[in-house]
Amino acid sequence: MTEVQTSPAAAPAAAGPSPRTGTQRAARVKEAATGWLFALPFTVLLVAFLLLPMAYAFKISLYRSTLIEGEVFAWFDNYKQAIDDPLVREGVVRVLIFGLLQTPVMIGIALIAALLIDAATSRFSRFFRLAAFVPYAVPVVIGTLMWGFLYSDSIGPFAWTGIDFTSSDTVLASLGNIVTWQWAGYNMIVLYAALQGLPRDVYESARIDGASEVQIALRIKTPMISSALVLATLFTIMGTLQFFTEPLILQPLNPGAITQHYTPNVYAYNQAFSFQQYNYSAAISFLLGAVVFIGSYIFLFATRKRSALR
């Protein structure tokens, strides 16, 4: 545990064999109290807005209420039902496919863009940096609605292609495009900031050794910002598993292709707010939360050497 190694008490203990005195202990208690005091505002917010709602959601996920019989305690019936529900599974599989395809594409675009801006030092690069960031500043709902119009086969600018962007064959890619459009710029800024933090003299020595700009970008810059890459990928994975707003907004365009169980989140939303199945919805949400937690943890564990979140 890193806390133990870096705690202030560890330093004098390692420095010499001096026995702990009462004053030292009092100082430590005082320090700990100060530490807790600093953490207090965060703790209060965490409890009030995350842990308590989570506990409440967990509680209602253990009940089952029906329109006729009212509410009964049902243990883990809702969870059993969710695990067996083919519609939940369909959504999970879809989200996994989506994540596997979309994450590398988006991180790849963000990385290339970041490397390009980092290499260029013209006024244009500053403009491009801002322009690439703009989609992130647009609320997801607005961005999705805008793409809905762009995909239109009567007024959209791509209508001439004859492609139906909201058919069941194409809609996943269309949604992926919206997500990439929205988030690639944000990830690019994260990676670009990491690039800015690198010591410039490394490039100088690489150039003296005869490395080309491409070689510098791929063999020096990219490995050196790997922790930022891991972070961006992690956020993308978490975002993907919670895929919700885009399919919900585009659903009216083709409810046959974007079903009400399109992603587990959309399904949970509809269970609660369309079918009054609050308990089942809570169970699905909780399961999904567990999957996000485990998925993120596995990814962090697998990349722990490069992760910035050690």
Partner 1 sequence: MAAIAATATAVTLAACGSGDDDKAATAAKPTGTVTVKVWAWYPEFKAVVDQFNATHTDVKIEWTNAGTGQDQYTKLQTALKAGKGAPDVVMLELQEIPTFALTKHLVDLGKYGANAVKGDYAGWAWDQVSSGEQVYALPVDAGPMAMMYREDIFKKYNLTVPTTWDEYKAQAEKLKAASGGKSFMTDFGANDGGFMTGLFWQAGAKPYTYDIANPGAIGVNVNSAEAKKVFEYWEGMVNTGLADTTAFHTTDFYNGLGSEKYATYLAAGWGPGYIQANAGGAAGKWRVAPLPQWTAGANAQGDWGGSSFAVTDQAQYPDIAAKVAMEIFGAKNSEAWKIGIDKAFLFPTVTPVLESDAFTGKTYDFFGGQKVNEVFVPAYNGVGDLDWSPFNSYNFNQLTTNLGQAIEKKTSWTAALDTAQENIKTYATQQGFKVQ
154 binds partner 1, rule: CB under 8 A: yes
| Size of the residue set binding partner 1 (CB under 8 A) | 25
Q: In the chain, where does DSSP find H-type helix? A: 2-6, 10-15, 22-46, 52-61, 77-84, 86-119, 123-137, 140-150, 171-196, 201-208, 213-215, 222-224, 226-241, 245-250, 264-273, 278-302
Number of other CB atoms surrounding residue 159 within 10 Å: 14
CB of 48 to partner 1, least distance (A): 19
Q: Which stretch binds partner 1 (CB under 8 A): 65-73, 100-108, 124-132, 240-248?
A: 65-73
What's the CA gap between 45 and 66, in Å, rounded? 34
What's the CA gap between 133 and 39, in Å, rounded? 33
- CB–CB of 63/71 below 8 Å? yes
Cβ nearer to partner 1, comparing 43 with 167:
167
* Residue list 70-129, contact with partner 1 (CB under 8 A): none
The pair of structure tokens assigned to 72 is 């009964």
Q: Which stretch binds partner 1 (CB under 8 A): 47-55, 133-141, 253-261, 289-297?
A: 253-261
Residue type, 277: Q
Interface residue with partner 1 among 11, 17, 23, 69 (CB under 8 A) is 69
CB of 142 to partner 1, least distance (A): 15
CB of 256 to partner 1, least distance (A): 2
Q: Rule CB under 8 A: which residues touch partner 1? A: 66-69, 148-149, 152-155, 167-168, 252-257, 259-260, 270, 273-276
